[in-house]
Amino acid sequence: MSQTRAVGTRTPEPGRSLGARARRGRPAAVFFLALAACAAEDAVDLAPPPAPTPLPALAGAPPLTTERTLVPRAAVADPPARNPAVPAEIEQMLAEGYGEVEIGPGLPLAPATLDGAPPPPRGPEPKLLTRFVHLADTQLADDESPARLAIFDGPGPFASAFRPQEGHECRILNAAVRTINAFHRSTPIDFVVLGGDNADSAQTNEIAWFTAILDGAERVECDSGDDDDPVEGPDNDPKDPFFAEGLLMPWRWVTGNHDVLHQGNFPVETRAELATGSLSDGGTRDWSRPGGPVVTGEVVPDPRRALLSRPALLDQLAAAGDGHGIGPDEQAYGKAYYEFDVKDTPLRVIVLDTAAETGGSNGVILADDVERFIRPALDRAQRDRRWVVLTSHHASRLLGDGSFEATGTPAVPGALGVEAWQALVGGYDNVLLHLAGHTHVHRVTPVTPSGGHAYWELETSALSDYPHQVRVIEIWDEDNGFVGIRGIALDYAVDDDPVAAEGRRRAVVDVTSGFGNDGSGEPSWRNVELSIERPD
């Protein structure tokens, strides 16, 4: 694998902490006929469309959830109210206030130690080592793709088959980028690490939209098939192009099951024709009709929807920006396994690729990857006296054997079970933390392998689902023999962006209607201050 790289260029600010801040589309045939007519008249205007107007930078630092929270005004309907996938019904719910939020009190940091003892007092000279953002489960969806399965949406386990805000998710992600940048201007952030499930269904255009928004682009248009314009005019609906300012700091890729599997479950080679075809039998959206209802039947095909194999995904990432952790070595390896150091600190981040190409939503770690990359990487970190942060899409309790009942796929030889994986990691006393996403729920878990070293697992909820947050994470040398890990949830801001604001309203309806799930987690899992013994 590639030589360890470094991320993070700022000088940490000693003594400053998060706790201290506590158009309706035209058919293609019509378009080409019109173009031919213009050409015949020798009057073709090939001038590019005007670039969208950039939004102003957010003013001031966005408040952390230790300072204030956003609380839905409506209680969650039980039994579920109306179906937010039906345009008339969601419009009625919006009119009744199901999508509104109000300002609530902040949530304090919840201290925790691995053995349950009171946390030790900080030493006289604590030092901030790094501050970064964990951005998990955006699940940026091409909501017009024939590969969608929206008709299966319903409360409970199928709540993610359709989200009323999914057409607005590009603008929600852009709002999150603007928020992270605004926070960075007042409280510098070293890097952003993803949590996986960055795309929704392994489509080429979904990954292209995602990387363009994070890298910055003069024009991003999250539209496929027909060129839709639900509300006439520019920059007033989710299908309009927009300017993406891009993150002001480096970001690093992590692979999730939705990034390499159709709908996060099915091997792409078995569904390739579905995504680029013209027939939807699972339900997709038609933005040529008011409200973008879910429909089945004929749709406008688009080759940009092609499903990506894992190697093709890595190639597309390597060609974007600085590669975001993916380079020739990772492309040759075939999975997103890599490592990087946080500059001027003892910290090393080791990135794991836990998505199972065989299918199914659970993670898998193979003995082959342990011997080829994971164990050598952990050995190097121990030899280099580096403190390790592991990051993957799946937490350890969600590792499986690679089998997938829906397709009759048997267990994959060499898949590590939960205990075997935790015992492996527990053999290295320099591991501080394992970051994960996938569950769409804020969660903290102390991992205590039998006979091994205990460490923390920290899961961040999804940007795609309520509460639609990212985590700002700080790691401190507390100057008392312990390392402090602070993780605080951050809401995205929608200032000057009515499209993102409308996306938030629809996202809140998803949960208050009783159809979507609440990923807030226990109060003690949201804003946390975790202690762990300082490695030698």
101, containing H or E segment? strand 101-105
What is the number of structural domains in the chain?
1
* 476 beta partners: 128, 484
Cβ contact 348:381 at 8 Å = yes
State how beta strands 431-436 and 387-391 pair.
Answer: parallel
* Angle made by CA atoms 191, 399, 416, in degrees to the nearest 5: 110
Are the C-beta atoms of 141 and 482 separated by less than 8 Å?
Answer: no
| pLDDT tens, per residue, the chain with 536 residues | 545 667 764 444 434 456 555 433 333 333 333 333 344 444 445 667 788 999 999 988 899 999 999 999 999 999 999 999 999 999 999 999 999 999 999 999 999 999 999 999 999 999 999 999 999 999 999 999 999 999 999 987 878 899 999 999 999 999 999 999 999 999 999 999 999 999 999 999 999 999 999 999 999 999 999 999 999 999 999 999 999 999 999 999 999 999 999 999 999 999 989 999 999 999 999 999 999 999 999 999 999 999 999 999 999 999 999 999 999 999 999 999 999 999 999 999 999 999 998 999 999 999 999 999 999 999 999 999 999 999 999 999 999 999 998 888 999 999 999 999 999 999 999 999 999 999 999 999 999 998 899 999 999 999 999 999 999 999 999 999 999 999 999 999 999 999 999 999 999 999 999 999 999 999 999 999 999 999 98
CA–CA separation, 192 vs 169, rounded Å? 19
d(CA 430, CA 419): 19
Q: How far is CA 97 from the centre of its chain?
A: 28
What is the domain range of residue 115?
5-533
**Element holding 251 (H helix, E strand):** strand 251-252
Rounded to two decimals, the pTM is: 0.93
The pairing of beta strand 191-194 with beta strand 127-135: parallel
CB 189 within 8 A of CB 132: yes
Q: What is the DSSP string of 341-400?
A: EETTSSEEEEE-----TTSSSSB--BHHHIIIIIHHHHHHHHHTT-EEEEE-SS-GGGB-
Number of DSSP helices (H) and strands (E) in the chain, helices first: 13, 22
CA–CA separation, 98 and 304 (whole Å):
35
Write the CATH number for 256: 3.60.21.10
Identify whether 79 is preceded by a cis peptide bond (ω within 30 of 0).
yes
